[in-house]
Every structure is written in structure tokens, then in C-alpha cells.
Structure 1
Amino acid sequence: MLLEELLNDFPRERFLREHYQRKPFSGRAAAERLRELGTWSVVDELIEKTSCDLLLARQGVPYAGERPRTAREAHALFEQGYTLVLRQPDQHHAGLSQLARTFSAELHGRINLHLYCTPAGHHGFGWHCDPEEVFILQTSGRKDYLLRENTLHPAPLPEALPSGALAAQETTPVETRALSAGDFIYIPAGHWHMAQAPEEALSISIGLMAPTLLDVLDLVRANLASNPVWRRRLPALGYASDLDDVKKLEVLRTLFAGLGGELQRALSDPSLPLKFLAQTARFYLRSAGLKGSGR
């Protein structure tokens, strides 16, 4: 099991009980074999031979130019202090695809995988938080991670991420974790963090978006959408309606009560948990596959 490889001698059950979705964890990773997936040769190949998305930023400011098409162009920008971020490289590289799919299968979530190349003495991004559970494998060099608990906007959703400026208003203590080549760190979803590179550093960031209860409602909604009753439009509710405000509210309360009953019946379906696990697992694994593989 990959998670156990990363945890080395730290018990998986204890990690899941005490750290996962709760507090950061860092240590010396046993999965040394994964370091070959985060090298300059892999980065250069992805830049030159694939359409992998490439983001560049320096001291929190995004690069405004065009995507570098050659490794030489990318390295020139790196020398100017720009962090290179290759986004979803697992869609273009078999080894990274297998890494993403393994994480997805072990922890059940959608994977958002990035490769980071950070020049010495720089940082690409300031304080921020992610909606995913983040596992970072340091493949070369060193990075220092500043961490603090998010009490102002915990458990953020991708569509409603708080601004990094909010981190400055936190009163929680800041801690530092130093990672050298071969180390890894786990950062819970929503936890404030930023990284600084005292020396040139490469790392693989594996963001795992675990499902929420809102995802269960999405599945139920899809089932309700197959019934024409729930696709029917509501009556006219604007100024032209022949219903007064009291009557409009009565109509809506009746309809909402009916919807509540349907939701209760759907959520009580004993087959729903199995359907939810099966559908989400298939979706997560497909999204982590090689681009155009059809898996």
C-alpha cells in the first residue's frame, strides 16, 4: 500500500485517526522510488513533448507571458525566479498517472496532481489554503513549509476558497516543517500554508478531494432529474403573477415539502451508499487516467 510506504514506520491506522483531515504530518518517506517521477528530465519532457498545463509565478505574482514551449525557455524563466507548476501531469505521464490512480483508490477521492520547480531563495505563492487533502513528496532540494490552522474559514469548497489575505487575520500559531529530498508532508484541506525554498527544489503535490455530503445530494439530484415531475417549471412568481405574496409562499412551501419527502426517501434507499461509492470511484479513477486513454 502506497500510503504505508510513505508513512514508513508510522502506523497507517494512527495516521488516519490522528492526522488525516485533522492536523499536518511530516516525515521521511519510505517510497524513495517515487523521486524519479519528480526530476528535471520528467519536467523537460512534459514541457516539450506534451500539452501539459504550465503555470509560472514569482513571489505570488503570476507570469503574464506565453507558455514556454522548450525546456530552455522554461529554465530561463526559472533562473529569473519563477516557480514552474505543471498541472495535471498525470494526464500525460504513465508513472504519474499510476501514482494518482493509486492515491485515489487508497483514499477515495479525485486527484489534483502538480509538479513544482522552485528556484532557490524564492516562493511561487503566498499564504493560501487548498480544498484538497495535500500530500507533498520532496524529490530534490529543500523546502520550508509554514503552516497554521484555519479557524476563520475551515473546510473550504473549490468554488468558495477564502483569500490568502484572511490568513493574516488568524491568531493560530505558525509552525515550520523543513523538507529535504525524500521527505514528505501531509497538509489537511483548508490548512493555511506557504512554502519557501532555501535551495533549488522539486516536488510532487498530490491533492486529494475527498467527497462531501454535498456530493451525495448531487447523486440524488441526478436521480430526481429522471422524473419529469421535478423537471417541471415553477408557476409565474413575478409581478405579472395572479398570486399574491402570501399565496406564492404557500405554493413554494407545499412544493418544498414534497421535495423534502423525496429527498428523505432517496437518502433512505439502502442501495444508495453502494451506488455512491461505485460511481464516485469510477469517476475519480477515470479523471486520473492518461489523456486520451479512454480508461
Structure 2
Amino acid sequence: MTGTALARVVGPVSTFADTHWGRTPLLSRAADLGGPDGFTGLLSAAAVDELLSRRGLRTPFLRVAQQGSVLPAGRFTGGGGAGAEIADQVIDEQVMRLYADGATLVLQGLHRIWPPLIDFAGELGTELNRPLQVNAYLTPPASQGFATHYDTHDVFVLQVDGRKRWCIHPPVLPDPLERQAWGGRADEVAATARGEPALDVVLEPGDALYLPRGWLHSARALGGRSLHLTVGIRGLTRYALVEELLALAVADPRLRAGLPYGLDPGDPEAIGKELTETVTALRDWLTTADPAEVAARLRDRSWTAARPAPISPLAQLDFAAALTPADRIVVRPGLHRELAAAGDEQAEGEDQVVLRLPGRALRFPSYCEPAIRMALDGEAHAVGELPLADDDDRLVLARRLLTEGLVVASR
């Protein structure tokens, strides 16, 4: 596979971004994406065997579905044996029997446990600037794991092995939020699924399918078994802005005020008067909303939903201990950060700068600001290039950045 992570699954990125992202499905054939072996480097049948039998896999990293229902974990998990007294490890022979009887296996969260997918998900998530998840679906021959449904996030379907027929129908609820799962509209979904599909296609190895959130879909393996990856993209919606605006609205005393004594909450006339005054107060407050405050809340929400690229703790510490001015460092891929400059009110003092990270903040002397900005600018730099007074200062700063997990060795 060549090109950016996104180009590997959609082809020309500009066409995808302008025409399909968040709007309409996109089918991309293997011939346009690198050939039928395009996704086997991410996962394979042999890799699935290893995950199920040699990695001590636990729930919820595996789900098993049969006839449209998810089976209880106790059907395929148990104790890990001597030295691994864990009650929910996957039992490979039980999984094998269930699969042989027609159950679909769903390997979940592979972006956290399978190295090729950890790297791929990191690249794709950085390119889309959104948190994502990767699951794998192994479907037995001529079987269907789940009934027609929709997801509340966008997905990329990457066919790894076998053939699978996908029937796609338009949304019954455009752009559903996470709280608006398809189960609440099961009758509408079923009725729509009985109609003519908008897209009826068979995915072959190396093919990819993009589905915006809300689009109905069902899939059935054809012939032999089918293995595909589903990459779920967590969206950021205008409703998220509304949620953060309302959270900030607690600052307005008019909106914190209690309702009148004795008010009947079921009386539309009484509630109507209070509603009018509340809407007026909210409208007044919204005109004063600070985009920086909203952005900070959205930042905190988004940053904690995705992890940066993994580091090797022992190798990282060894590198830091033996660091020299000639060694090169680069910012850790996927690291979310914001540096508040000296004098900025966020820096909480003119003699320091604050580096904000997911769930924490680090403080540095203000004279380190140019060196920190260089170290975190995305390019590889020799430690001796950092703009500080001498090599001793450069090594102290670089070692701290390494031991805090902010930069890694650049080879």
C-alpha cells in the first residue's frame, strides 16, 4: 500500500473530501487502491488466529454474534489457567466451535492491540484530525452477522479476505448523534431495508467502502468466509458546540434562577411564560459567548478520545540516559498539545510557559519556549540545535521531553 493512509482507502483525497465526506457513500475498487492484497498487511486470517489463541485476548476485545444477537461473553471466555488467573480470557476452542456453527466474530479495538493497525489508525486519525476505532469482522461462509442497521459514526469498510455483499439504503435519520442509535427506530429501519437499495455491491479483497453515519447497511458473506475491517470515525458535530455552549451558560445568573414558587411543571401556559424569559436570557448570553472558551472545551473533549503513537518505555529511557547533543528527536506522532506563551494569561505567570496536554499540563521556564516550539514542530532536530544557552540546558530539556513522552528518537 502506498500514499497517505486516507488515500489508501478512498483514492483521490480531494474528490472524497469535496463530494463524499459526511454526505454520500463511496465505493473504491482494489484496482484503484493498490490491488487485491492492499489490506492484508493490516490484518490476515493468520493474524486473527494469533489474536484468538496466543495473545491472551479478553473481553471486550471480542464479541460473538449469531442470528443477529450478541452472545454472552461466558459462552467463549473463561480462566486463563495457572499464572493467569483472569476470568474473561478468550477460549480458542470454544470460539472455533461457535464460528463453525455460523457465528460472526468481531475483534474490537484493534487500533490498540495489533501493531500494523496501531500504526495505520494513528496515521489516518492524524490525517482526519479525528479519533477513530478499528474492528474486524470474520463472517462464516454464506452468513450474515447483523441485521440491517446504521452507525452513529462514519465508517470505512476494508475487505481483506473473501467476498461480501453489501446492501446500502438511505438514512431514516440523517446525521444521527451517538445517543440516537438505530434500535430506537428499528421499525423504520426494517421498513426502509425492504425497499430498493441505493447501493448493492459485492466487495472483493482490496475493495473499500465509505459510509457516512446514518446510512443503513447489511452484509452477507458469499461463498467462503469473509474478513473485513471497519474503521469508525468519531465525528464532531454542531450539536457538540451547543452542548459546550450550554455548559458555559451556567455563568449567567438569569439562567441559574429557580422557577416560581408553586409552578405546575405540567401547565403549558405557566411554562410558556418562563420559557419566553429563559429563551430571551439564553439569546442574550449567546451573543457574549467566547469562541476561545468553546474551543478549549472542545479541545479537552477531543484530545482525550485518541491516544498518541505508542512508545517503548525501556528504549525511551535508555535513549534519554545516553542522550548527546548529536542525537535527533522528533515530536511523538499524534501528540495533542498547546503551548501557552510567556505573558499569556493561560501561562499563569510571565516567568513560565505552560504546555497543555490531554489530562495534564507541564510548566517550563519561559526562556525554554523557543526550544520547546522547535522540538514539537513536527520536524526532526538534533538536540544541539535547540535554541538554548548551552548543551547542558539542551540536554536537560530534551531529557524531560523524552521522559514525559512528548518526543521520541528520530532514526
Q: Give the structure-1-normalised TM-score.
A: 0.81
Q: Give deviations 1:73-104, integer Å, cap 9, x for gaps.
A: 21221111000112223233343233333332
Deviation at 1:7, TM superposition (A): 2.9
Matches within 5 A, 1:148-187: 148-150=169-171, 152-162=172-182, 163-170=185-192, 171=195, 173-187=197-211
The size of the alignment, in residue pairs, is: 284
1:148 partner letter: H
2:17 partner letter: L
Deviation at 1:124, TM superposition (A): 0.4
For 2:144 and 2:261, locate their aligned partners in 1 and report how far apart those are by CA, in whole Å. 53
Change (3 A) 1:184 1:251: closer
1:141 partner letter: G
Deviates more, 1:189-198 or 1:66-75: 66-75
1:72 partner letter: E
**For the pair shown, which has the larger CA radius of gyration, 1 or 2?**
2
Deviation at 1:164, TM superposition (A): 4.3
Matches within 5 A, 1:51-70: 51-53=58-60, 54-64=62-72, 66=74, 67-68=76-77, 69-70=90-91
1:2 paired residue number: 5
Deviation at 1:196, TM superposition (A): 0.5
Deviation at 1:33, TM superposition (A): 5.8
Equivalent in 47, 50, 62 of residue 57 of structure 2: 50
Deviates more, 1:162-171 or 1:48-57: 162-171
Contact 2:133–2:232 (8 Å) recurs in 1: yes
Deviation at 1:192, TM superposition (A): 1.0
Contact 1:143–1:180 (8 Å) recurs in 2: yes
Change (3 A) 1:19 1:172: farther
Change (3 A) 1:75 1:237: farther
- Structure 2: unaligned runs, 5 residues or longer: 78-89, 314-357, 359-404, 406-411
Deviates more, 1:165-174 or 1:80-89: 165-174
- Structure 1: unaligned runs, 5 residues or longer: none
Matches within 5 A, 1:72-111: 72-111=93-132
2:213 partner letter: A
2:103 partner letter: Y
Q: Give deviations 1:56-84, integer Å, cap 9, x for gaps.
A: 11231332451432222212211110001
Contact 2:107–2:137 (8 Å) recurs in 1: yes
2:22 paired residue number: 21
Change (3 A) 1:102 1:96: same
Secondary structure class of the residue paired with 1:43: helix
Identity fraction in percent: 24
Contact 2:245–2:294 (8 Å) recurs in 1: no
